[in-house]
Amino acid sequence: MFHNPRELAMAARLAPVLETGHPTAQREGLLAKSTWPKRPGLFPSVAGVTALALMSAAPAHAGEPEHVAAQPQDAARAQAHGDPLANAQAEAEQQLHQTFTNLRFEDFGPAPVEGPLYQATAGGKIIYFAPQTEHLLFATVYDRNGVNLTALAQERGASRRLKAIDPAKALAIGPVDAPTVIEFTDPDCPYCQALDRYWNAKAAEGKPVRRLIFFVSGIHPTAAAKAEHILCSPNREAAFKAAYSGQTPPVLRQCAAGHDKVAADAELVARVGVSGTPTLIADGKLISGFQQAELEAFLDRHAKPALAKAATDAPR
């Protein structure tokens, strides 16, 4: 769940990741670079792309029928007749089965994407663009060893964005000694309000977190005024809880410090590349939307050391 009524912000840095017909690049050298991908180059040993969504701006070849995935026996028959395209398809299918021996494939055929494939970052997410056929792919790319290369790139991007965030400038909510999350939020975002209820429920279970809040004010028309009201209130945490429970006071507080903080948060949002709410950073990992399973895993990771410490400190 990710509240973003605008189209994806494609303010992205492009870097070539795959070009058909080229030999496999050296994985070790590329993955070892901390700023990967740093310059144009091939995506390392790309063997498969699991596409979650595929959008095309226009047909690759207007007026031509869509490709129909050929069955393996069809490719074999065409290969026997010396069809170069069928030969290439048969060889590719054979390589797929030999490379990923633990997977079962029902069919195999040409993909609609042609030409070089480029990698971009939009709203903290990795996407892929094929300019030749004008396709945009929301996908996960694995190498033959099962390494999630998309996740690696996204984590490196989150690490770079973290450097622009000063935790001391956040609105801090929650105990100082609790696990910390950075949270980009909007008082009018329904998923942000649901996330606040989730954190409250976890705190009641004895699993509190310390939330470092930065406000996103460019989506809803009253978000900036409500954020300023929270920041100008004598008890900012109480005002935050009231706003996120849906309460709107008859008069919203205003002050110069609150106004400047909302403006500074807006600049940070643009610099970090946040395009929707809520967006969180937990343990250095960017989480787009209210992803409850990922948040449960975050809490579990921090609960285990706490339980171990409690057992060690218990009297014998």
So where are the chain's domains? 15-156, 167-313
pLDDT of 97: 84
pLDDT of 222: 95
**Comparison of pLDDT for 260 and 156, the residue scoring more:** 260
Please compute the mean of the pLDDT values over residues 95-117 and round it to a whole number. 86
306: pLDDT confidence band, cut at 50, 70 and 90? low
CA distance 160 to 37: 13
Q: CA-CA distances (angstroms) from residue 130 to 38, 143, 251?
A: 19, 19, 51
124: pLDDT confidence band, cut at 50, 70 and 90? low
User: CATH topology for 167-313?
Assistant: Glutaredoxin (3.40.30)
156: pLDDT confidence band, cut at 50, 70 and 90? confident
**277 Cβ partners below 8 Å, 6+ apart?**
2, 3, 4, 184, 185, 186, 189, 191, 192, 216, 219
130: pLDDT confidence band, cut at 50, 70 and 90? very high
Model confidence, pTM:
0.57
pLDDT at 49 over 60: no
Q: What is the pLDDT of residues 246-305, one digit of tens each?
A: 999 999 999 999 999 999 999 999 888 887 899 999 998 888 899 999 999 999 999 866
Least trusted range by pLDDT, from 59-73, 136-150, 153-167: 59-73
pLDDT of 313: 55
Beta bridge partners of 140: 50
Percent of the chain with pLDDT over 70: 69
